[in-house]
Amino acid sequence: MALSCPSLCSQLSLIRLYGLRTNRINNGLYSSYVSCQSRLPLCRHYSTSKVGRGVASKLQKANTKYEGFLKRRFPRFFQLYHTFVEGFKLLFKDANEVKNIKVKMGTEGLQFKDLPYRDMEKLRQFRRDLMKAIPLLLISLPPFANYLVFVLMYFFPRQLLIRHFWSPRQQAEFQGLYHSLRVQHHQPVLKGLENKSRQVKDTQLQSRLKGLCAKVQSGENPQVSDILAVRGLFSGRPLGIRWMGVNQMRHISPLLFLTPRLPGFLIGWRLNNHALELLQQDRALSRLGAHELNDDELRQACYVRGLNSTNLGAKECHEWLIQWLQVTSSLKDSEVSLLLHNMVFLSANYPKGPSPH
């Protein structure tokens, strides 16, 4: 009985949620989502009638007994079940917060770039969660497929579940794994820059770019001044995002957890959109101040920007994020290619590399 509640929530609310367009976030999507929740008496909102309150009370008692039985007899399964239920609560909470943000944007005529940093991050992360959850929803549509889905979620949590349904141990483990996949592209990105440097006509800028790449490849952490000294090369030929080679874009895409298995023009379009979004977040974060972030927000901000912050202290994360913002907060929209390459420059050797002087 207890499992039927989250299952009912997922089948009814998420089908309505994902059945709408997911390539952009709109008020209609979230209003449909919340209105769907309001029609789920077994999941969240019980009737105010006496009959409704009585049914709700009986369900709560039955659910408590069932959870107690699972905890005593099947502790491992109970942990999975508990994570699953709590995940839905977090998902509903995020959806409600996103709905409020979208309503605010509509009533006040705000654009994404006008939002505070935390609102930007909430929209960005929720959109990614929705996109990842769509395949699981499609699998669960056929009758009785929810049992298969539950088995798949148990054996393939990283591939099928979004972060709401991961345990704290899984979150750390999966983040480390995803970052190890990013690291595999660091050297190819640097090699691609070295090859492109031969097309730079200004000998001084060419030398600085080669020196920057050599410093990172040798295991050092570059200075912010080293990176900003070559920023002019990343707005036009040969390193601007419009002139970047397809192979280079395919190696940069995994840094943002984007698939490289798309046509070149589509990869470039996605990279440009994601880079501009991250640049707008950096500007909002500069206005807020990195010191205003709590530890979880700080680690998440660093992780999104290319640093494996799982095993780093708050002080190390803060120092790194300050360096990142010193590079990106002053960049123009036409220089987002530098922001993408900065994910390698600053994170490849941090914090193990020698500190720059």
d(CA 276, CA 284): 12
Q: Give the start-end residues of each E strand in the chain.
A: none
In a domain, 286, yes or no: yes
Domain that holds residue 142: 4-166
Q: Are residues 265 and 223 in the same domain?
A: yes
Angle at the Cα of 15 (from 13 to 16), degrees rounded to 5?
65
Whether 126 is covered by a domain: the verdict is yes
* Residues 201 and 340 both lie in one domain: yes
Rounded Cα gap, residues 223 and 323, in angstroms: 8
List the one residue out of 67, 45, 69 whose CA is nearest residue 55: 45
Q: Which amino acid is at 229?
A: A
pLDDT at 1 over 70: no
Burial of 314 (0-12, 13-18, 19+ CB in 10 A): middle
Q: Say if 110 falls within a structural domain.
A: yes
Residues 193 and 245 in one domain: yes
pTM above 0.85, yes or no: no
Q: What is the per-residue pLDDT for 52?
A: 66
Same domain, 212 and 130: no
* Residues 327, 219 share a domain: yes
Specify if 195 maps to a domain: yes
Q: Note the pLDDT tens digit of each residue in 24-38.
A: 334 433 344 434 443
* 357 is a domain residue: no
Residue 16's pLDDT band, with cuts at 50, 70 and 90, is: very low
Token readout for 263 is 């046509």
| Cβ contact 275:241 at 8 Å | yes
Single residue among 111, 141, 166 that ends a domain in this structure: 166
Last residue of a domain, one of 166, 199, 229: 166
**Lowest-confidence pick of 51-65, 157-171, 240-254, 299-313:** 51-65
49 φ, ψ (degrees, to nearest 5): -75, 165
pLDDT digits (tens, 9 = 90+) for 33-73: 434 443 333 344 434 456 667 777 777 777 777 677 767 77
Same domain assignment for residues 282 and 197: yes
Residue 157, both tokens:
């949590």
